[in-house]
Structure 1
Amino acid sequence: MLLVFDVGNTNIVLGLYEGKKRLSDWRMSTTPPRTADEYGMVAINLFEKANINYKDVKAVVVSSVVPNIMYSLEHMIKKYFKVEPLVVGPGVKTGINIKYDNPKEVGADRIVNAVAGHEIYKKPLIIIDFGTATTFCAVGIRGDYYGGCIAPGIKISSDALFERAAKLPRVELIKPPSVICKNTVQSMQAGIVYGYVGLVDLIVNKMKIEMRNLGEQEPLVVATGGLAKLIASESSTIQEINPYLTLEGLRIIYEKNQ
């Protein structure tokens, strides 16, 4: 079995594969940083709850945007799973041609998403990943990674509003019934959710124009990440939601490196 780790700033998502079949997936908090043994106990407990023997794992792939936990995580993988993890980075085969000024600056998660999108859809793509930050990536039909942009995540925006405005409460991130609201909580929800939809649609439409100028046909707009469904429900540009895009990308990268 193949175990994949998608390490983000807020959560670590684990996916377990038997060939191309995803057997299970789990989510744990990234912070506070844990020791190798603490990560090991959490991972093994997840396997036990799913009635899966963790010793059946024969390979591990890791994508991370959090460098300060990698020592503990890699040590845990070697100690408990008895394998040397494949860490996505320079020297790893992806099949993606990175057009960034400095390819080393591109986050591993963005590369993994591009690999998955290119392999699965075989079309020009705009990939939106709703994580701690929201990333927009333009990928060409031949696997050219043109670049993109990064915006504050919707939860960061919501938290900032609560923390910097003394009289405003922390609110649940749900879609209110209208934009003209009659109470503070719904007014905040409307501003956050519908305002973020506007941000997404404007950026996507500008990216579409720039991709056409690069000679690409109309791109497919794919969203992933925890809040993708919330924004996609009102967006006029998001065409598909793929919650497992990053995990699939890690599986594909493992296959490319065998």
Structure 2
Amino acid sequence: MLLIINIGNSNLHFGIFNSNSDLKCNCSWNINTIPHKSIDEYVFIFRDIYRKYDIFSKFRIQNIIIGSVVPSLTNIIKQSLYEIHKIVPIIVDRKTASPIKHYSHQLGTDLYANAIAAYTLYKSKNYSFFLVVDFGTALSFTCIDKCGNLQGVIIAPGVNSSLKALIENTSLLSNIELKKPPSILGYYTERCIQSGIIYGYLSMVEGLINRVNQELKTNCFVITTGGYSHIYTPLTKKIHIIDKFHTMKGLKMLFHWNY
């Protein structure tokens, strides 16, 4: 089995996949990213989760791969997992070889993985370009063509980041559940904010997809992933497919191409 860890700014995403080319995720879980914990503290957290999901009895982990956008945590997580599995995790990033051609010195590993998965999974479709919309800590758009050339990236503030900033800077607001309101116009503060966050971000996503299509002079095949993709995808016809494991699949492909 292959254990994949995607270290993000808000969450650590774990997935257990078969070691072959199968892209089905057998088990997955997330925990909050905590930047100031020690190796021993993470070992304790990971062991507790393993007991909860009965990982050791269900799965035989043979390889571990890590993709990270939090450099200060990468080695801590690597050492924590080594303490548990006695397997040296493999770190992949934008410099790890793949069919993707890019010239960026700042491309995040998650965006690189998104491009890889889009190119590999959908290049046979009758589209010249693919656009991955990732509803993560940041809202990102990664565009790649069917020849494997990265066309560029758009990054905007993430949905949850904007909602938290609004709540923290407004004294009369409490926690707001992020869900589709019954109408666009609302009377109560919670519904008014839900409308702004849901339909405001939806309008931005649709607007940016339209602008990318206009710039490329064709329509992109659009894939969504990330924690809030399930909320927004049903509300628009601009998105063709949703895949919550899209980034993980890209990391898995990197592993198979290189190891």
Q: Identify the residue that residue 6 of structure 1 maps to in structure 2.
A: 6
Cα shift at 1:32:
4.5
Q: Identify the residue that residue 93 of structure 1 maps to in structure 2.
A: 97
Are 1:246 and 2:252 counterparts? no
Q: Identify the residue that residue 189 of structure 1 maps to in structure 2.
A: 194
CA change 1:86–1:147 in 2 (3 A) is: same
Contact 1:162 1:170 in 2 (8 A): yes
Contact 1:6 1:14 in 2 (8 A): yes
- TM-score, normalization by structure 1: 0.91
| Aligned counterparts, 1:8-157, within 5 A | 8-18=8-18, 19=20, 20=22, 21-53=24-56, 56-99=60-103, 103-122=104-123, 123=125, 124-157=129-162
In 1, distance between residues paired with 2:215 and 2:95?
Answer: 30
Cα shift at 1:90:
4.9
Contact 1:138 1:211 in 2 (8 A): no
Cα shift at 1:6:
0.6
Summarize deviations over 1:173-196 as a string: whole Å, max 9, x none: 111010121211111111111111
> How many residue pairs were aligned?
251
In 1, distance between residues paired with 2:95 and 2:156?
Answer: 28
For the residue of structure 1 that corresponds to 2:3, the secondary structure is strand
In 2, distance between residues paired with 1:233 and 1:165?
Answer: 30
For the residue of structure 2 that corresponds to 1:98, the secondary structure is coil
Where structure 2 has 5 or more consecutive residues not aligned to the other structure, the ranges are none
| Aligned counterparts, 1:222-233, within 5 A | 222-233=223-234
| Aligned residue type for 2:65 | V
For the residue of structure 1 that corresponds to 2:82, the secondary structure is helix
For the residue of structure 1 that corresponds to 2:235, the secondary structure is coil
Give me the CA root mean square deviation: 1.7
In 2, distance between residues paired with 1:24 and 1:191?
Answer: 34
| Aligned residue type for 1:112 | A
- TM-score, normalization by structure 2: 0.91
| Aligned residue type for 1:17 | F
In 2, distance between residues paired with 1:37 and 1:17?
Answer: 26
Percent of pairs identical after alignment?
Answer: 30
For the residue of structure 1 that corresponds to 2:25, the secondary structure is strand
Q: Identify the residue that residue 219 of structure 2 maps to in structure 1.
A: 218
Summarize deviations over 1:134-182 as a string: whole Å, max 9, x none: 1011110111111121010111111111122233333111110101212
For the residue of structure 2 that corresponds to 1:48, the secondary structure is helix
Are 1:234 and 2:232 counterparts? no
Where structure 1 has 5 or more consecutive residues not aligned to the other structure, the ranges are none
In 2, distance between residues paired with 1:194 and 1:91?
Answer: 37
For the residue of structure 1 that corresponds to 2:105, the secondary structure is helix
Cα shift at 1:78:
2.5
Contact 2:35 2:72 in 1 (8 A): no
For the residue of structure 1 that corresponds to 2:55, the secondary structure is coil
In 2, distance between residues paired with 1:129 and 1:90?
Answer: 17
Moved over 6 A (4+): none
In 1, distance between residues paired with 2:26 and 2:48?
Answer: 16
In 1, distance between residues paired with 2:94 and 2:8?
Answer: 19
| Aligned residue type for 1:42 | I
Contact 1:200 1:235 in 2 (8 A): no
In 2, distance between residues paired with 1:95 and 1:140?
Answer: 12
